[in-house]
Chain A
């Protein structure tokens, strides 16, 4: 038997890992013994989605493509966190950071690229690190560092107005920072857009809250140990406490250059993806092919596919001849696709444009010899040609219709040209990152992949930048002939039980299931799925109230010890201060407790409460006993707080007594469990000092002694003005409608669905019909049920401060005794 070939891959990024995945899944792959050297200390993740991690739409753990276990399963040796430092191609071996040598028969270099740092004064410290507060944005570590820093930063500056800079800026705006984008050129995305398109984009980006500084050249970082601002070539300065450098990338070629391989901008490869020395190949952003380097994943994955085929099938003649590329900007609410040229190259090129700058629409096509040579497609215009179709025309170089208007507006131009994905031809490319055609997706659905997840896994569609996901979903629905036979799991209330919330509630009531374990016994074969426990506990409490059989293990730790866990495993204590109105006596007590227990941090919260932070678990009961105040529930999915403003008693603008109302609301609804936390506010007049219109529930006094009730407001990672539910005359009515809304939300929202998502999902008109006009005749019942919940409420600390539920409820760590040898039984 022949010995296996040793294949070594340097770089475990999007190109390297894809190559390995392609090789192990192909016949012929078994002839290789694969070693991957990856400088990053992880399995393989989707770098593209780092933009989403920064914006908070993904958590880091969701972007992993291959966890470490995958490598084990496929017999691939991954040296994670081990960079290759030297290549000796004459003797076929590479040296690793720890000094050892790794022999190979075939070597693939996929080292990607690194951020290019502009020459700014003070940017780089003497030790070679960036000054504190300045970051690059390329790796998961970069992203985590930015996020850690951003939690106490206020004002961010992004240097560089390219795709990466724009995505970073939009991400940080979503995180609530004030964001400034500094760009040297007069136009944003100047590599991809012309001046007119850029101007439209600039408007849209500013509307999203990014402050633009164009034609501005940064020359220096202000700060010695820590950045506090930037200086520009015109002498002006900008104060900021976080800065992201996004001024382009440089292929990682050091290793190849030092070994004597041909390197220009990138490592030179030919159509076989081979480098200038035997048995060494390169792909991805580090490689230069026919004078071209790439900075997008589609060409990188195409190269990986071709090289995998060549390496596993000796008969293959496949060659790489270059990629035409198109890009989409991944900023939500901003639809931009670009491809090819942005300007005509000669007077014979045709330019077709359509622009409506005030609506944020700009479309420009460059046509050369009857074929699409480039396009800028900004803004979503119903009835216009889908970008996917134009990308396809561009990538394949298809001849265009002679009536150019059809290219932009197929239906207005009276043609029967394709309009939606449904009408696209089968060979139209849907996923540009992975090159997946409509036909391939439909075939997979026919082969039984009838859920979105299964479909994406099978075809790889939507697993790159993810922007084609909605189209894949549309195709799925289409192929299932309207019967949406997909992903029922997204509608399940908890993952372990295949029932929607209303179905589950019905079964739980019918079968009188009163505890989480009883539900698992009855509906999940006794399998206790841990991810489903807390959701079930919340639901059962809502359904059964006093008759709920509590099982502590189904609660999240916060609800086991009635405090909010912090990053170091300590807890925070928030006593309830109704409506944010306190007394000297209360303050004194809180101060005494803080001193007595040496509480590390005493903090006024955004909800007008006092937070004692950094408390150890075993201190909790004593602290609560000494406080003698009710729990503020700052730790749980329940009614949290009602913020108030001064209102008519003291404020000279006050129209209604917002303080008294807030206190009444809070006394009544304190601690009632909800699908997610619920925060309220009352304002004494439309000046809205307590920000009542951006709370889950808010009441605002208006002229004429009336109160407006708002529902579904948000001012966190999302900002949304609440919808007006109704206007009422008295405090009692405010309490009534708020309670009714809460009960409806308790019964109908999914677990962890915030009120604003819920209100958007069911619609404010629907809520008005049901809760105000009583169209379904359920108001009386809702009022009764919320009253029952109010009656069932007990302050957790009243009992547990004196008598823990179990003896070790508040133990941080228990002691153990060594057992003498041989005496263990």
Chain B
């Protein structure tokens, strides 16, 4: 099968095996000088967003997730994980990044550099 080529300027990173993120939790990853938060839902969906909460920089990967939503651990602002849209607050949307698993269960994320 043909692989979809990456858009120009985009870089793909391997975040290691999925088992590094326990089900239902998130972890922060460092991609060169950028931090991203990657979440693995209980239903095995993956999401990736910017790591810092736009409100006051809370570590989103430490938030509770569920139903496609993350709650920031600092002041409980909520965001849609799929689209990054703020829920019930007026922060800017989160940046989101495409993520998927490769055949060996490694997490691949694409960011524009």
A binds B: yes
**Contact for A813 among B5, B14, B29, CB less than 8 A:** B29
| B90 and A553 form a contact (CB under 8 A) | no
| B12 and A531 form a contact (CB under 8 A) | no
How far is B64's CA from A45's CA once the two chains are assembled, in angstroms? 27
How far is B90's CA from A527's CA once the two chains are assembled, in angstroms? 25
A296 beta carbon closer than 8 Å to chain B: no
Which B49-68 residues have C-beta < 8 A from chain A? Answer: 51, 56-59, 62-67
| B27 and A814 form a contact (CB under 8 A) | yes
Q: Which residue of B lies closest to A814 (CB)?
A: B29
Known: A551-B24, A818-B11. Is A528-B67 also a contact (CB below 8 A)?
Answer: yes
How far is B35's CA from A814's CA once the two chains are assembled, in angstroms? 9
| B109 and A816 form a contact (CB under 8 A) | yes
Which residues of the other chain, A, contact B21 by a CB distance below 8 angstroms?
808
How far is B61's CA from A812's CA once the two chains are assembled, in angstroms? 10
Of the candidate stretches A63-71, A355-363, A481-489, the one touching chain B is A63-71
Which residues of the other chain, A, contact B89 by a CB distance below 8 angstroms?
61, 64, 67
| A813 and B35 form a contact (CB under 8 A) | yes
Q: Which residue of A lies closest to B26 (CB)?
A: A553
How far is B64's CA from A817's CA once the two chains are assembled, in angstroms? 27
Which B71-93 residues have C-beta < 8 A from chain A? Answer: 71, 73-75, 77-78, 85-86, 88-90, 92
| A812 and B70 form a contact (CB under 8 A) | no
How far is B75's CA from A528's CA once the two chains are assembled, in angstroms? 20
**Contact for A61 among B12, B73, B77, CB less than 8 A:** B77
B22 beta carbon closer than 8 Å to chain A: yes
| A69 and B20 form a contact (CB under 8 A) | no
Known: A530-B66, A825-B102. Is A43-B29 also a contact (CB below 8 A)?
Answer: no
CB distance from B5 to the nearest CB of A (A): 8
A1 beta carbon closer than 8 Å to chain B: no
Q: Which residue of B lies closest to A558 (CB)?
A: B73
| A553 and B23 form a contact (CB under 8 A) | yes
Which residues of the other chain, A, contact B102 by a CB distance below 8 angstroms?
824-825
| A814 and B28 form a contact (CB under 8 A) | yes
CB distance from A114 to the nearest CB of B (A): 22
CB distance from B83 to the nearest CB of A (A): 10
CB distance from B96 to the nearest CB of A (A): 16
Which A29-82 residues have C-beta < 8 A from chain B? Answer: 42-43, 45, 59, 61, 64, 67-69
Q: Which residue of A lies closest to B15 (CB)?
A: A816
CB distance from A595 to the nearest CB of B (A): 27
- Max chain A Cβ within 10 angstroms of own Cβ: one of B6, B62, B63, B74: B62
A554 beta carbon closer than 8 Å to chain B: yes
- Max chain A Cβ within 10 angstroms of own Cβ: one of B6, B29, B90: B90
Known: A553-B23, A824-B3. Is A529-B67 also a contact (CB below 8 A)?
Answer: yes
CB distance from B59 to the nearest CB of A (A): 4
A644 beta carbon closer than 8 Å to chain B: no
| B12 and A819 form a contact (CB under 8 A) | yes
| B25 and A552 form a contact (CB under 8 A) | yes
A792 beta carbon closer than 8 Å to chain B: no
A510 beta carbon closer than 8 Å to chain B: no
- Max chain A Cβ within 10 angstroms of own Cβ: one of B20, B23, B24: B24
Known: A816-B29, A824-B3. Is A43-B23 also a contact (CB below 8 A)?
Answer: no
Q: Which residue of B lies closest to A59 (CB)?
A: B75
Which residues of the other chain, A, contact B64 by a CB distance below 8 angstroms?
530, 533-534, 553-557
A490 beta carbon closer than 8 Å to chain B: no
Q: Which residue of B lies closest to A805 (CB)?
A: B22
- Max chain B Cβ within 10 angstroms of own Cβ: one of A67, A528, A531, A551: A528
Q: Which residue of A lies closest to B41 (CB)?
A: A528
Known: A812-B28, A817-B13. Is A61-B22 also a contact (CB below 8 A)?
Answer: no
| A569 and B88 form a contact (CB under 8 A) | no
A572 beta carbon closer than 8 Å to chain B: no
| B28 and A813 form a contact (CB under 8 A) | yes
CB distance from A560 to the nearest CB of B (A): 8
Q: Which residue of A lies closest to B60 (CB)?
A: A569
Which residues of the other chain, A, contact B25 by a CB distance below 8 angstroms?
552-553, 560
CB distance from A211 to the nearest CB of B (A): 32
How far is B75's CA from A747's CA once the two chains are assembled, in angstroms? 27
Known: A552-B24, A812-B28, A816-B29. Is A530-B13 also a contact (CB below 8 A)?
Answer: no
**Contact for A553 among B14, B22, B31, CB less than 8 A:** B22
Known: A61-B88, A68-B90. Is A808-B69 also a contact (CB below 8 A)?
Answer: no
How far is B61's CA from A557's CA once the two chains are assembled, in angstroms? 9
Q: Which residue of A lies closest to B91 (CB)?
A: A68
Interface extent on A, as a size class?
35 or more
Give a binary string over A646-685; 1 marks a CB under 8 Å from any B CB, 0 the rest. 0000000000000000000000000000000000000000
| B12 and A569 form a contact (CB under 8 A) | no
Interface size on B, residues (CB 8 A): 54
Q: Which residue of B lies closest to A144 (CB)?
A: B56
CB distance from B29 to the nearest CB of A (A): 5
A517 beta carbon closer than 8 Å to chain B: yes
| B86 and A68 form a contact (CB under 8 A) | yes
| A814 and B59 form a contact (CB under 8 A) | no
| B16 and A816 form a contact (CB under 8 A) | yes
How far is B78's CA from A68's CA once the two chains are assembled, in angstroms? 14
CB distance from B37 to the nearest CB of A (A): 10
Which B17-51 residues have C-beta < 8 A from chain A? Answer: 19-25, 27-32, 35, 41-42, 51
| B73 and A556 form a contact (CB under 8 A) | yes
CB distance from A591 to the nearest CB of B (A): 29
CB distance from B32 to the nearest CB of A (A): 8
| B90 and A42 form a contact (CB under 8 A) | yes
A567 beta carbon closer than 8 Å to chain B: yes
Which residues of the other chain, A, contact B23 by a CB distance below 8 angstroms?
553
| B42 and A528 form a contact (CB under 8 A) | yes
Which residues of the other chain, A, contact B16 by a CB distance below 8 angstroms?
814, 816
| B24 and A557 form a contact (CB under 8 A) | no
CB distance from A463 to the nearest CB of B (A): 16
Q: Which residue of B lies closest to A528 (CB)?
A: B66
Which A763-811 residues have C-beta < 8 A from chain B? Answer: 805-808, 811
How far is B72's CA from A569's CA once the two chains are assembled, in angstroms? 11
Q: Which residue of A lies closest to B85 (CB)?
A: A69
CB distance from B68 to the nearest CB of A (A): 9
How far is B99's CA from A556's CA once the two chains are assembled, in angstroms? 25
**Contact for B30 among A42, A527, A813, CB less than 8 A:** A813
A821 beta carbon closer than 8 Å to chain B: yes
- Max chain B Cβ within 10 angstroms of own Cβ: one of A59, A554, A814, A816: A816
| B13 and A552 form a contact (CB under 8 A) | no
Q: Which residue of B lies closest to A568 (CB)?
A: B57
Which A532-549 residues have C-beta < 8 A from chain B? Answer: 532-534
How far is B13's CA from A69's CA once the two chains are assembled, in angstroms? 32
Known: A557-B73, A813-B29, A814-B28. Is A819-B108 also a contact (CB below 8 A)?
Answer: yes
How far is B91's CA from A229's CA once the two chains are assembled, in angstroms? 36
A704 beta carbon closer than 8 Å to chain B: no
CB distance from B70 to the nearest CB of A (A): 7
Which residues of the other chain, A, contact B35 by a CB distance below 8 angstroms?
813
CB distance from B7 to the nearest CB of A (A): 12
How far is B72's CA from A565's CA once the two chains are assembled, in angstroms? 12
**Contact for B20 among A551, A807, A817, CB less than 8 A:** A807
Q: Which residue of A lies closest to B56 (CB)?
A: A567
| A553 and B86 form a contact (CB under 8 A) | no
Give a binary string over A281-318; 1 marks a CB under 8 Å from any B CB, 0 the rest. 00000000000000000000000000000000000000
11 sampled A-B residue pairs with Cβ under 8 A: A61-B89, A531-B71, A533-B66, A553-B25, A557-B63, A557-B73, A565-B73, A807-B20, A813-B27, A817-B14, A825-B102
- Excluding A61-B88, A805-B22, A824-B102, 14 further A-B contacts by CB distance (< 8 Å) are A43-B90, A61-B75, A67-B88, A530-B67, A534-B64, A553-B42, A556-B64, A557-B64, A565-B74, A567-B74, A818-B14, A818-B31, A821-B6, A825-B103
Q: Which 4 A-B pairs have the closest CB atoms?
A: A553-B24, A530-B66, A528-B66, A557-B62
